[in-house]
Each structure stands twice: as C-alpha cells, then as structure tokens.
Structure 1
Amino acid sequence: MNVIEKAKEFQDYVIKIRRELHEYPELSLQEFETQKRIMRELDAMGISYEKAGTTSVVARINPGKGDQVVALRADIDALPVTEQSGLPFSSKTPGVMHACGHDNHTAMLLGAIKILTGMKDALPGEVRCIFQEAEELCVGAKNVIAEGHLNGVSAILGLHGMSNLPIGFYDINPGYKLAGSDTIHVKFEGISGHCATPHLAKDTIYPACIFVADLQSIVTKNVAPEESIVLSVGKISGGTKANIIAKYSELEISMRYFDPEVRKTVHDAIQRHANALALAHEIKVEVIIEETAISLCNSERVTAIAQKSAEKVYGPDRNIDLFRLMNSEDMSYYFQKTEGTFAMLGYFNDEKESIYSPHHEKHTIDEDMLIYGTALYAQFALDYLNP
C-alpha cells in the first residue's frame, strides 16, 4: 500500500480534527474535552483504548498480536497564550492556545490510526498509540510510564512540527537532539541590619551578584568547549528597602545540557561556588535542583528505520540535520524505557504565513505538514513490524 496516497485520502478528516482541536485548546492536565474527543474518534473506528494518567488515552491496534509492540506518541495539551493568528478557527478559550502544535500531532495520529486499522492484516504485531497529557509541564510521559503503558514496547516514535525547517523537509537523525532542563534555586541567608552599619550585618545581595558573574566561569572553565551548556539567570530577588541590608537573596537559574556527565559536573561546580561564597561572606546558602526534563537522544537502530520510512513518505534528500536544539521534551523519558526516535517536521512556508515558531501568539502551520506526519506515523509502524 502507498501510505502517502492513503494519507491524502484522509487529509480532509485530519484537517477537520486539527481545526476543531485548535478552537478548543486545554491546558496541561485539564485536557478533559480533548480526551473525550479522541475517545469518540477511537470508538467510531472500533479501536480499543484505555484512559491513562489524568487525561491521556492509550489506544491499541492488534492488542496482544505477535511478539513486537511499536508505539506512536502525540501530545495533546495547549499553552497559556492569547492567540493572535487571525485564523478563522482561532481559539475560543480565552488565554489558551495550541501555540505548540499539539493539535496537529493529535490529528495526525488519529489519521494514522485510520490508515492502520484498514490494514491490520499487514501488521504482524501491536501498534500502541499514546495521546499524552501535559507535555508542557514535562510530567505527562512519566505519568503514562508509571501506569505501565510502555511495558512490552520495543520502539517508539514521536514527532513535532518545526518552523526552522521548510515544508516538505524533516530532521530524523541519531544522537542527542533536544536538551535536558533543570531549574536551580540558590538561596542566600545572611543577617539584616541598617545600611549605615553594614559591618554589623551580613549582606546577601553582593555575594548573589558575584555568583551570577561566576556562572559563566563555570561554563568556560569546567566544561569542554565542544559541549553545549546554557546557564541563564531568569530571576533574582533580595532585600526589602534601600536602607536595610538584605537578609535573603534568591536566584532562579535555567540550565540546559545534553550529556548527563556534563550535567553532574555543572551541578557540582554550582554547589562548590555557592558554598565558597557563603564561607567567604559568612552567610548560609542552599542549592535546590529541580529536574524539568532529561536530554533526548535518538536511538541509532530505531532512527535508521524511521529514516527509511520518511524517505518513502517525503522522497529522497529531504533530511536536514538541525544538530542539537536547546529545547526540551518529555519524550525523552520514554527513551529511558525503550529505544525510540523523535522526528522534526518542517512547516515553514512564507507564502502561507506559516513562519512563526512554536509558543508564538501568531503560530500556525502549512497544513500540508499534516499529510506528511500522518503518513510517517503509519509508515513507521508498518516498517518496524515488517523488517
């Protein structure tokens, strides 16, 4: 079967679903109507499924058939953004928008299920389709995994629309593709006092400022030049009034990384620098590290299969390696449990004003991407189960 031609047959269906979802976006862990909409479509197709997490849905084609299970994943949540795209099907939910394109991913996976249900006999194993909640909070994948929905899965494919690739092109390549992300809180505690007698107090603002400057030396002096690492101070607070020495100062740092060993090196250096400053200024310090997402690394084996699938869908010479991006994705947690790959699909088309990146208030796509993504999901499942 020519999967891309089959995807074109379902193009109107996929566009319809995408636009309906776009009109009624829901925030992470609040995707209850989205969940119901997905389940209605699965019921109409006669596909078995179960609820997962808070609002996720896991559908199964050929459940229990054969000894191989391949998984396909789409995220379903939206963002707290007020839409300014001007689309006739713009968000009807105030302050909420599908600005990251998860409406597209959901619609494409439903379209792929339509294709695959029509060819169950050509599938010697099970296809597990995960409609995942709360990607934007980086908790949805962990919720799905914790309930055992990845058990038995030997490979998984996820995808995302990208504005830095033109329509008709994609990035499916092995190795690290998306960064891990941590939020680091550094809290200094000193002794307050009058600004006229600073020697009787223990200021925290000055050492906090030194610490901000020190962060860049951590990157340049502790990490190999070929490694990618970002430390950004997004928030700094301290003090209550100009003539009062600040007892407390606090920093919030966003860290992006790829190599887990580099991550540990930087964590250790941050703690070491903070402790040294606290000792030098006779104050206390606390460092709290919160994991947001781990880095995403595409499997060599699964990526090779996905590359062949993509060439069948897109044609030759359409694979552009974007190298490593500093964005994060909780798809990475699935890759701790099984091998997988994350495909990036281009939608940039200035003729259709599909030029804005995800998370932008004017974000939209060239809907031709929906055909490619629908076909890629289905083609990958076929190719993986029919080596």
Structure 2
Amino acid sequence: MINNQIKESIKNNSEELVQLRRTLHSEPELSFEEFKTTEFICDYLEKLGISYRKTNPTGVIAEIKGNPAGKTVALRGDMDALSIQQLNDVPYASKTDGKMHACGHDAHTSMLLIAAKALSEMKDQLPGNVRLFFQPAEEVAQGAKAMVAQGAMEGVDNVFGIHIWSQMPTNKVSCTPGPSFAAADLFTVKFKGRGGHGAIPEACIDAALVASSFVMNVQTVVSRTIDPQSPAVLTIGKMVVGTRFNVIAENAEIEGTVRTFHPETRDFIEKSLTQYAENVAAIYGATAEVEYTRGTDAVDNEEESAKLVQQVAAEAFGPDSVYNEKPTMGGEDFSAFLTKAPGSFALVGSGNPEKDTEWAHHHGNFNIDEDALATGAELYAQYAWAYLNK
C-alpha cells in the first residue's frame, strides 16, 4: 500500500521540512491576511513545477496531475496564525508582537509542501490527480467555506487533512471513523429591562437579574433535556451588563458557544436557547432577543477513508503508531470540505515532555516536536498514493 519512493523522498527532505516550518513560524499572519505566506507557497510550487491558482483574498489551490482518467484526491493544510503573544524563547520565534503560530498551522503548510515535492517527483506514476489546498482563515472558520465557494472541491473524489496534536505522543496517528471534531456555534442573547436608580428597584426591571437567572438556568438544557450519550457543551463566555454601581441595568448582553456532534442535538439546543431566554425574560417583565449563528459543522470521518488512514499509518510507521484519540469538542472548518466529498481528518502527535511540546494549542508556549513533521508529510503523500491506487 505504501510507496518506498515517497518514504525516501520525505527522509531526504526532512531538514528542509524543518527549515520551512521555522521560516513560516517566524512570520505569522492572521486569518485572511496571509499574503506573504501565500506568495511563499506559490514561489515554492513554481520551483517544483506544480500548477496552482490563488484564491481570494489569500490561499492557494494546486494540482499534481497524474493520469487524467483517474480519481482526484485532495490534501488540505491550513496556514493562518493567531492573535497570541509568543512566550517561549526559541530561535525561530515570531517576529511580530501579538501574533503567533500557536496551533501548528505552520507545520501543516510545511508538511504539505514537502508532501507535494515527494508526489511531484513521481507524478508519472500517479494513477490519478492530487489537489492541494493551502487554506487560509481556519481560525475564524471561514477559510474552507471560501475555498469551496471558489471551486476547490469541483471534481474531487476524496479529501484528507491533518492536524498536529500536542496532546498525543510524537508520531502517533489517530483517525477513527465517525465524529472527531464538534460542530461549533455561537450565540448572543440581549435582554432589555427598565433602568433606574439603585435605591428605587420597584420602578425598574433589573436586566442584571434577568441575565443572571438565564445563565444559571440555561445549563439545564444540556444536563436535563439532552440524552447523556449525545455529547453537548453550552458555555457562556461573556456577559456585559450595567453602567454604574448605583444604576439598575436596563440592558444585558450575553455571548456563548454550543458544541455538539449530532444534528438533532444541535437543532434542539438552538430552539431551547430561544425558549429559555424568552421565558426567563417574561418572568421578570423583560424582553429577550436571541441571535444563533451556526459555525462549523462536525468533522465526521467517513469509515472507509478513516480505515485507509489507519492502514497507511500502520504500514508506513508500524502498527504501534496507530492511536485512538477520543473526539474533541473543539471545532474545525475542515468539515466544509466533507460536505462535498467523503474523506477523513487525522491527528499526528507532537507531544514530547522532554522537548516541552505538550502545551495546549492556542497557548503562548505552544510548540511542536519537529520529529513529527516527517510523519505528517509522509502521511499526506502516502494517503494520496494509497487512495489513488485502491
């Protein structure tokens, strides 16, 4: 199933792979601002002779053309950074204060570039085509949708993505059938009461009291109305209420997020949020306005594709490399590609306590064990080869 030429190419380019990642790490760009990163990728692809086109405003879609009569498999690597101050002291630290690759997207881009190099060296042997997505704006859950809207998935038969994962041991590979990342939604609730002097509460409707009651009661949507075997998380992350210590608040605004795996659970919570807000407001004589925004869908690994990833990993890196990481309630906009074709999303471990790379994603001390880069690059390329040769 695996191709030894790919394995040898990744091995021979492992030093370049590390350097690519360090270069990208030192020059982070935020979502839809990845202009230099886009040019960096285009320059590299031109040197490899791989055709590509830019997407708007940032991002690149490239194609390694083998047998035109064969299938097309797509490989995705995201490339945006975060508004986070880098805290760890490394030689390749971010050159821009307040911006950092704190989630591993620099690794994804560099791994996909080296995978592209390996596949381009053997394009005449490919029984199909490999499409490459260098995706912007994953962190704001808009980049995958933008690429799909610009034709990224047209003619694609299968799609595969990778995420470096600091919570797994270095070089372990996890890709289980079924949900792996949750649907991630956000909501805003605005309560309107009647403000007034803090010494005259009988003339007022206290929006702070209404909002507080909602925060305490809305958790029962999950704890008392959802099947415990259908995972769901409802989090209130922000509440703004009041203007002064002796003024009863007229307005309160709450923001939060909902994470689910199953569509029916998602639908139920969305409906219940409005019911709870309106009924709590009615108890106090206030009004409520709810805005519910669906973000990313759940990443649901197609069974055949996920099992192919496991088989490829076992053959390429040994049976012990296959790991069973539990699903996360985190969101991933890779799901937008899965609405257009079957596919799977794998995790590649990069956590190593000896190298201090077990920090949580989105932390200022986040870093990766660079030994995992070659594993990710080879997994990209070997999966494409295995799928096209099925």
Normalised by the length of structure 1, the TM-score is 0.97
CA contact (8 A) 2:72 2:131 kept: yes
Partner in structure 1 of residue 321 of structure 2: 318
Letter in 1 for 2:346: A
2: distance between equivalents of 1:151 and 1:183? 30
Partner in structure 2 of residue 76 of structure 1: 79
Partner in structure 1 of residue 209 of structure 2: 206
2: distance between equivalents of 1:353 and 1:34? 27
1: distance between equivalents of 2:160 and 2:352? 25
SS for the counterpart of 2:339 is helix
Deviation at 1:37, TM superposition (A): 0.5
Partner in structure 1 of residue 113 of structure 2: 110
SS for the counterpart of 1:53 is coil
| 1:270 has 2:273 as partner | yes
1: distance between equivalents of 2:67 and 2:339? 23
Aligned residues: 387
2: distance between equivalents of 1:224 and 1:53? 42
Task: Describe the superposition over 1:184-220 as per-residue Cα deviations: whole angstroms up to 9, x where unpaired.
Answer: 1110011222223322222211111111111221111
Deviation at 1:63, TM superposition (A): 6.9
> Following superposition of structure 1 onto structure 2, how do residues 347-362 of structure 1 map, counting pairs within 5 Å?
347-362=350-365
Q: Which of 126, 135, 143 does residue 140 from structure 1 map onto? A: 143
1: distance between equivalents of 2:378 and 2:83? 30
Moved over 6 A (4+): none
Task: Describe the superposition over 1:309-360 as per-residue Cα deviations: whole angstroms up to 9, x where unpaired.
Answer: 1112221132222221011110011111111111100011122222212211
Partner in structure 2 of residue 27 of structure 1: 30
CA contact (8 A) 2:66 2:123 kept: no
| 1:65 has 2:68 as partner | yes
Q: Which of 363, 368, 377 does residue 366 from structure 2 map onto? A: 363
2: distance between equivalents of 1:101 and 1:283? 46
Deviation at 1:244, TM superposition (A): 2.0
2: distance between equivalents of 1:205 and 1:281? 11
Q: What root-mean-square deviation, in Å, do the aligned CA atoms of Structure 1 and Structure 2 show?
A: 1.3
Q: Which of 161, 164, 179 does residue 161 from structure 1 map onto? A: 164
Partner in structure 2 of residue 383 of structure 1: 386
Partner in structure 2 of residue 4 of structure 1: 7
CA contact (8 A) 1:162 1:345 kept: yes
Partner in structure 2 of residue 283 of structure 1: 286
Q: Which of 225, 231, 234 does residue 234 from structure 2 map onto? A: 231
Structure 1 vs Structure 2: percent identity of aligned residues?
39
Partner in structure 2 of residue 14 of structure 1: 17
2: distance between equivalents of 1:176 and 1:382? 25
Letter in 2 for 1:58: I
Deviation at 1:86, TM superposition (A): 1.3
CA contact (8 A) 2:67 2:126 kept: no
1: distance between equivalents of 2:7 and 2:68? 25
Partner in structure 2 of residue 195 of structure 1: 198
Normalised by the length of structure 2, the TM-score is 0.96
Runs of at least 5 residues in structure 2 that lack an aligned partner in the other structure: none
Task: Describe the superposition over 1:64-89 as per-residue Cα deviations: whole angstroms up to 9, x where unpaired.
Answer: 81241100000011111111221111
SS for the counterpart of 2:272 is helix
2: distance between equivalents of 1:238 and 1:95? 29
Deviation at 1:5, TM superposition (A): 2.9
Q: Which of 88, 102, 118 does residue 99 from structure 1 map onto? A: 102
CA contact (8 A) 2:183 2:259 kept: yes
CA contact (8 A) 1:74 1:105 kept: yes
CA contact (8 A) 1:4 1:372 kept: no
